[in-house]
Structure 1
Amino acid sequence: MGNKVVTFTEEQFDAYQDCTHFTKKDILRIFQRFHKLQPNVIPEEMSEEIASTLKMSTCFLEEMPEFKENPFNQRIFRVFSADGSAELTFNEFLDMFSVFSDSAPRELKIAYAFKIYDFDEDKELGRSDLNKTLRCLTRNELTEDEIDFVVDKVLEEGDFDQKGSLSYMEFEHIISRDPDFLSMFHIRI
């Protein structure tokens, strides 16, 4: 009889399955990815306390293929870290993968996209947020005039209340018309 390491209790699995879009197998696969980032630090057995307190440093998260070239990686980590530090506990890491999974509802993905693009975290996408988002999306390949032109067009098309920024509802309206949004806002496990 071999020694089998029990990573999570049944209660933990039940809780994870209730609040994510994953099966037990998916949860274990995601844990293995988390563990491999720092195998000398992340224990193979994850108590509820360790899963919610032990944080993965951003420098290790950035090495994941999905985030290595992603211009939004720091914003994504910051949005999913409860304390805004951009360092993630396993629970936060699992939540992040759940939102980016194929089975996450479109509405959830839109809500997180809005948070990621809201750089100043004022619950509006103002000119500055749209400017930074566009710079990330184009990898700084546009001139200032081109960026201003695109930001003006986005606000012209989507800013229904003429406040000079996009509310969540206005952003949702714009994104709902983008057929490529779901394919772009996704990570395979």
Structure 2
Amino acid sequence: MGSSVSTKQITQEKLEEYCQLTFLTKAEIMHIYKLFKTLGPEELNEDFKHRFPVEHIVKIFPAIRHNPFRDSIMRVFSSEQDGHFSFEDTLDLCSALSENCPEEVRAAWAFRIFDFDGDNQLSLDDLIESIERLTGLNENSEPRIDRPSSEYIAQAVLQEMDMDHTGSIAPQEFVHIVSRMPEFTLTFRFMP
């Protein structure tokens, strides 16, 4: 989002700017700010751009704290890729996962979350990792689904979504298909 805020509170002008740059309402932005400020009011009073460790951010968002993709979500939305979040990073996260975010935009963010190796393609390994995270771990901290089953499911997904037959799913293919799935719209969102 870029520009700085030099006051201890969000000005009306800055609030308007955030509304234009996100899919959030003024009330939602203020609610997120109040949550964010609980992490360190002194730090924010000194530097509005203060970056808190992701461990602190997940404390104020239980839906992310218990999400099997938590580490990937936090990696994608940390603008500095440093394991820390600014208030604006937090707004980006909440905006992308808000119910007002267009499906195509939300799907593009989802693609980045599922692209574990960061190569801008969803490979078979990325899909297997997603399946294993979705099915969870057993009491021994091992995937509940066996490897052949997760590979079988991943191959089926790849076959359905790889429209240009490259062996992986490109961002455009993912967005095209996923943004039209009603289940995606209902499940890939949260509001603090």
CA-to-aligned-CA distance 1:47-86 (integer Å, 9 cap, x gap) = xxx44x3111111123231112101111111111112123
Larger deviation, residues 20-29 vs 143-152: 20-29
The alpha-carbon deviation at position 22 of structure 1 amounts to 2.2
AA partner of residue 34 (structure 2): Q
Task: Give 1:153's match in structure 2, choosing from 153, 156, 177.
Answer: 156
Q: Does 1:58 align with 2:54?
A: yes
Identity %: 31
Residues 175 and 181, structure 1, Cα contact 8 Å, conserved in 2: yes
Cα pair distance change 1:176/1:102, threshold 3 Å: closer
Task: Give 1:162's match in structure 2, choosing from 143, 161, 165.
Answer: 165
The alpha-carbon deviation at position 97 of structure 1 amounts to 0.4
Q: Does 1:187 align with 2:190?
A: yes
CA-to-aligned-CA distance 1:10-67 (integer Å, 9 cap, x gap) = 2211210110122222211110111123345333xx8xxx44x311111112323111
Task: Give 2:120's match in structure 1, choosing from 123, 128, 149.
Answer: 123
Q: TM-score, normalised by structure 2?
A: 0.85
Residues 53 and 85, structure 2, Cα contact 8 Å, conserved in 1: yes
SS in 2 for 1:42: helix
Partner of 1:175: 178
Cα pair distance change 1:60/1:40, threshold 3 Å: same
SS in 2 for 1:124: coil
- State the 4+ residue runs in structure 1 displaced beyond 6 angstroms: none
User: 2:183 & 2:69 partners in 1: Cα distance?
Assistant: 17
Partner of 2:107: 110
Q: TM-score, normalised by structure 1?
A: 0.87
Residues 104 and 176, structure 2, Cα contact 8 Å, conserved in 1: no
Please list every run of 5 or more consecutive structure 1 residues that lacks an aligned counterpart in the other structure.
none
Aligned length: 179
Residues 79 and 86, structure 1, Cα contact 8 Å, conserved in 2: no
Partner of 1:77: 74
